[in-house]
Structure 1
Amino acid sequence: MTTVKLAGQASVCKFTIQCPHELCGRDVNYTDAILCDALIRGTAASGIQLDFLSDKNQDMSLEDVLQFVEAKEAGKRSASRLLDTLATDVTSDIVDSTASSYKKKHRLALQTDKKETCTYCG
C-alpha cells in the first residue's frame, strides 16, 4: 500500500489522544508514528526492515523514514543490476573458454589472413 493510501486510511482512523499532562489537555496526533510503523512493516525486503530496526536513530520523522526506505530500495536495485551485469560477463567468458579448439582456430585464421585458402575445404 502506498504512503498516500496509508495517510488516507489514517485520517479516517483519527489517531489522536489527549495529552496526559494535567495542565495541557490538548489532543496529540500520532498519525505519523503509526504511518512509520506501517511503512516499515509493509516493506517487502526484510533486509530493509532489519536495517531500519537496527539503526540508532529510532525517532525518525515520517519524511526521514520515507527517505531511508527509498535509499535502501534504490541501493538494492543498483546492486541487483550490477550483479546481473557481472553474471552476464562471467557467462560469456565461460562460453568463450569452452568453445572448441577447431572453432578458435577457424576464427583466428579468418581474422589473421583472409587471402589464404579456405580452412574448411583446403
Structure 2
Amino acid sequence: MPRIYRSRVDTADFVLAGPDAPDDGGTEFHVVRPGPDGRDDYHGARVVLSDFRNGPYEDPDYVFPADDTYIVIDGEIVMEIEGLEPQTLTAGDIASFEKGTKAKYSIRDFVRWVCVR
C-alpha cells in the first residue's frame, strides 16, 4: 500500500542529538521518515531535518553512514572530501555523498539542512 511520509516541523518536536548538546541550543533533529527497521535516530532514519545552532564546530573524521543527500535550507557548511576542493554549501544547495565517503566538515555559526538517505 502506498504511503505518504508527512511531517510538520515544530521545534517542540525536536530532540537533542547527543548527550553533550546543551539545553539552550546545539544540534537538534526532527525525523521525518524512520529507517526501514523503524530506527528514528539520526543515523538510522531515512529523512531528517537537522538544525545546528551552536557553532563553530568541526568534525575532521566524519564517515557517511549511508548514501546521503543534503539540502541546505539556511546557514553554511563547508565539506572537504580528500582529493577535491572544499565545497561551501549554503541555502538552496543540494549535495549528495556516497556511503563510506570520508569527509571533514565545518560549521562556522549555524546550518539547517534536510538529509535524505
User: TM-score when scaled to structure 1?
Assistant: 0.22
Higher relative contact order (CA 8 A, sep 6+): 2
- Choose 1 or 2 for highest CA Rg: 1
Kindly indicate which of the two structures has a greater share of residues assigned to strand. 2
Kindly indicate which of the two structures has a greater share of residues assigned to helix. 1
User: TM-score when scaled to structure 2?
Assistant: 0.22
